[in-house]
């Protein structure tokens, strides 16, 4: 499944290339609570078709009503939106917040761009599809757009003269091991906008893989990690519970900028892994600080599907910069409850 921004921009490009009128809406400011974060985008076609989201739905409905009536000549004055970008604010008054489904006190401001240039949209889509991180700058006086390759991700910024927003590349996840847990986790990662690669040299696991959209390879995990070239939009998760496959791959992962690095296993298994890496691979507690384990958040998960939910929740929390309460940490929660650790490596769990 493609990154949502890419889906929106691709649809907008297709409409404009066919000569259809359309606008691009970007969330540029929020006050209080808001349904969608700054930088979220939505495209609206002249026929009312919407791709993307800037709210829970009510603001989209208002935009559809306003601009489809304008395009059809039924709006006030029959004005067709065009020209320089315009700012539009929702939720200033309590009745507006209620009307548009904004949380109490929530306000958001949009920048609307009318009929973006299809050639520049095509260039942006092509660069994103090739894995480039791009910065799109909009001149507010006239809507003129410039594109450049960005060196690192940055937050949307808006000034009196310009709007700058970064797009792409997609978030990526590398899973080591192709078992049932990996199938559930890969499925969830795909519908959360990650591209997923799975590596497992074991034919008995790889041969039964059934998740469409995830790339699968039989190479050794440490080689795959090197070839993966993880960046700050990458997650690497070891799921085999086999030190011969996991350990070297995790060591390679720790040399990258991946935002999430973790391995499945019980508290005992996690402690043994750290001891091995320190004793045999010259690691230290400091060098292993980014290695997560036991992975996931504490939800009492037992089945592979529940464990996958637990892991995906933690990955998304780290991705979104959310610090989870200590009582949601698996090890801390189990220890506080007096749950004895597993004494065996035979059971794959996150106890």
The tens digit of pLDDT for each residue in 218-273 reads 999 999 999 999 988 899 999 998 999 999 999 999 999 999 999 999 889 999 99
Which residues are CB-contacts of 254 (< 8 A; sequence separation ≥ 6)?
261, 287, 288, 290, 291
Q: For residues 186 and 197, what is the distance between their CA atoms, to the nearest angstrom? A: 8
Amino acid 350: pLDDT: 41
Question: Is the per-residue pLDDT at 178 higher than 90?
Answer: yes
Peptide bond into 294 cis (omega under 30): yes
Report how far Cα 226 is from the mean position of its chain's Cα atoms. Answer: 22
Predicted TM-score (pTM) of the model is 0.70
Residue 258 has which token pair?
Answer: 């991946």
Please state the φ and ψ torsions of residue 262, each to the nearest 5 degrees.
Answer: -155, 170
Instruction: Kindly report, residue by residue over 127-177, the tens digit of the pLDDT.
Output: 988 878 899 999 999 999 999 998 777 889 999 999 999 998 778 999 999
Q: How many CA atoms lie within 13 A of 20 on its CB side?
A: 17
Amino acid 345: pLDDT: 40
Which residues are CB-contacts of 64 (< 8 A; sequence separation ≥ 6)?
44, 48, 50
Residue 287 has which token pair?
Answer: 């060098």
Which residues are CB-contacts of 229 (< 8 A; sequence separation ≥ 6)?
256
Helix axes 267-281, 243-253, angle to 10 degrees: 70
* Overall average pLDDT of the 321-347 stretch: 70
Instruction: Kindly report, residue by residue over 28-43, the tens digit of the pLDDT.
Output: 998 766 667 899 999 9
Amino acid 33: pLDDT: 63
Q: For residues 73 and 273, what is the distance between their CA atoms, to the nearest angstrom? A: 68
* 81-95, 105-119, 301-315, 331-345: the lowest-pLDDT one: 331-345
Question: Is the per-residue pLDDT at 349 higher than 60?
Answer: no
Q: Look at 259 and 81; give whichever has higher pLDDT.
A: 259
Amino acid 104: pLDDT: 52
Amino acid 291: pLDDT: 96
Contact 23, 44 (CB under 8 A): yes
Which residues are CB-contacts of 185 (< 8 A; sequence separation ≥ 6)?
173, 175, 237, 239, 308, 311, 312
Please state, rounded to an integer, the average pLDDT across all residues of the chain: 87
């Amino acid at each position: 499944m493609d990154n949502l921004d890419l889906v929106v921009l691709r649809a907008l490009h297709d409409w404009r290339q066919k000569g259809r009128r359309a606008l691009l809406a970007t969330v540029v400011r929020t006050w209080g609570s808001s349904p969608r974060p700054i930088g979220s985008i939505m495209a609206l076609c002249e026929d009312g078709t919407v791709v993307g989201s800037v709210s829970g739905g009510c603001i989209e409905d208002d935009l559809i009503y306003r601009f489809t009536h304008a395009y059809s000549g039924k709006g006030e004055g029959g004005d067709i939106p065009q020209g320089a970008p315009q700012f539009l604010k929702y939720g200033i008054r309590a009745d507006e917040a209620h009307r548009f489904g904004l949380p109490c006190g929530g306000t958001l401001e949009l920048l609307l761009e009318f009929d973006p240039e299809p050639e520049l949209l095509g260039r942006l889509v092509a660069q994103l599809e090739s894995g480039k991180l791009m910065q799109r700058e909009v001149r507010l006086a006239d809507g003129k757009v410039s594109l450049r390759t960005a060196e690192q991700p940055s937050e949307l910024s808006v000034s009196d003269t310009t709007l700058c927003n970064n797009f792409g590349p997609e978030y990526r996840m590398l899973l080591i091991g192709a078992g049932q847990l990996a199938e559930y986790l890969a499925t969830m990662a795909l519908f959360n906008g990650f591209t997923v690669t799975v590596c497992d040299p074991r034919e008995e696991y790889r041969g039964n893989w059934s998740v469409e959209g995830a790339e699968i390879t039989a190479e050794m995990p440490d080689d795959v990690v090197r070839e993966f070239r993880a960046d700050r939009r990458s997650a690497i998760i070891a799921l085999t519970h086999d030190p011969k496959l996991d350990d070297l791959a995790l060591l390679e992962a720790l040399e990258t900028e991946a935002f999430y690095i973790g391995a499945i296993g019980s508290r005992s298994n996690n402690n043994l892994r750290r001891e091995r890496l320190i004793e045999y691979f010259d690691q230290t507690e400091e060098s292993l600080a980014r290695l997560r384990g036991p992975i996931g958040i504490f939800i009492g998960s037992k089945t592979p599907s529940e464990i996958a939910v637990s892991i995906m929740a933690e990955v998304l929390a780290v991705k979104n910069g959310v610090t989870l309460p200590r009582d949601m940490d698996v090890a801390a929660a189990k220890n506080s409850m007096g749950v004895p650790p597993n004494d065996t490596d035979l059971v794959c769990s996150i106890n």
